[in-house]
Amino acid sequence: ITKTKVWDSSEFISKPFIFINENKDFIPVSVYLMKKEFFNRLFYKVRDVYPKKDTRFLSFFGKPYEIYAQNLLEESINHDLNYQYSKSFRYGPKRCNESPDIMLRFNDRLLVIEVKSFRLSYNTVYNSTVTTVKEDIEKLVIDPLIQSTQRVKEMYEYEVDFVANVKEIDFIVIGNGSIPKINSHKEMIKQRIESHFGKLSAEVKSYNYFNINEFEYFCRLIERRKPFFRALERYSGDTELFENFFNFLKHNSYSLKRPKILDRLFNTAIDDIKKTYF
């Protein structure tokens, strides 16, 4: 890591441990980095099964990624509240238009979620410049926000029942990479998308980008007995420099647990491993 390449963690990836004595006891440089690399290595192990010029896996990976987000949110809904849930569906005269990946409605307020399996490019992570960072923010955040805004606008025009009488909207983009939330990035996104929001017949209250890990913690908020919209608004507008959603929850005394469904699935997986190997 240098002053000119503050995101470059390549040395820590190749040498992730610090030896602290002659007995070779060690501590990890970053537990988060180790977890991230474990997932990345697994991803590329599966990718390498396919020929290098074969893009089928990358095309395929986006679908289970989307389904995971849909299922996780649906399983996390607190049914004591009057939430209305919808995953993507066809609409329009010939049913050729497709709604956003996930929508969750509470009275006259609508949460719209677009799921993309895109990750930060190699140049942004290891050789970042202003240009590469802007290109990735465009792909990971701005384009999906514009896309979901256009779809909601069309749904209003076609008088789709799910958005009827909606007065307030929140947007979330889910991606596969972490983007530092600094003022210059926030301002860049704001300048690019606010004109599109102005075309909607409802007020946009918040818009956020989550990686999949942050989205899992967000789903914990949906389990609560009160709506989650205030947290989204505060995170969208008032977060500190470099503060990710996990730290935001921590600093504002929210639960830092994952959704209950993940605990159940984890325990089931552990039981299956015990039966298989022990």
Q: Are 188 and 136 in contact (CB under 8 A)?
A: no
* Residue 245, CA atoms < 13 Å, CB-side half-sphere: 26
CA-to-CA dists, residue 114 to 117, 221, 243, angstroms: 10, 18, 22
Res 228: pLDDT: 94
Q: Tens digits of per-residue pLDDT, 129-162? A: 667 778 888 888 899 999 999 999 999 999 999 9
193: left (phi over 0), alpha (psi -120 to 50) or beta: alpha
pLDDT computed for residue 122 by the predictor = 54
State the Cα–Cα distance between residues 30 and 85, nearest whole angstrom.
37
Per DSSP, the three-state class of 128 is: coil
Terminal-residue alpha carbon distance, the chain: 44
Q: What is the pTM of this model?
A: 0.80
Tell me whether residue 263 is exposed, middle or buried, using C-beta atoms within 10 angstroms of its C-beta: 0 to 12, 13 to 18, 19 or more.
Answer: exposed
Amino acid of residue 39 = F
Q: How would you classify the pairing of strands 90-91 and 97-98?
A: antiparallel
d(Cα 145, Cα 197) in Å, to the nearest integer?
Answer: 9
Q: Give the pLDDT of residue 179.
A: 73
- Write phi, then psi, for 275 (nearest 5 degrees): -65, -35
Which residue in this structure is represented by tokens 């503060």?
A: 243
DSSP 3-state assignment of 253?
A: coil
Residue 253: left if φ>0, alpha if ψ -120 to 50, beta else—which one? left
Look at residue 16 and give its three-state secondary structure. coil
In the three-class reduction of DSSP (H, G, I as helix; E, B as strand; rest coil), residue 91 is classed as: strand
DSSP for residue 121: -
What distance in Å separates the CA atoms of residue 77 and residue 187, rounded to the nearest whole number? 32
Contact of 101 with 70, CB cutoff 8 Å? yes
Q: Are 163 and 152 in contact (CB under 8 A)?
A: yes
Q: How far apart are CA 32 and CA 214, in angstroms?
A: 13
Per-residue pLDDT in tens (0 to 9) along the chain, 278 residues: 556 665 566 677 667 778 888 777 878 777 766 776 666 667 667 777 777 777 777 677 778 889 999 999 999 999 999 999 999 999 988 888 999 999 999 999 999 999 998 766 655 555 556 677 788 888 888 999 999 999 999 999 999 999 999 999 999 999 887 776 677 778 888 889 989 999 998 999 999 999 888 999 999 999 998 999 999 999 998 665 557 888 888 888 887 888 889 888 888 888 888 888 76
pLDDT given for residue 151 in this prediction = 95
> Side chain identity at 149, as an amino acid letter?
T
pLDDT value of residue 91 = 93
Residues 223/252, Cβ–Cβ less than 8 Å: no
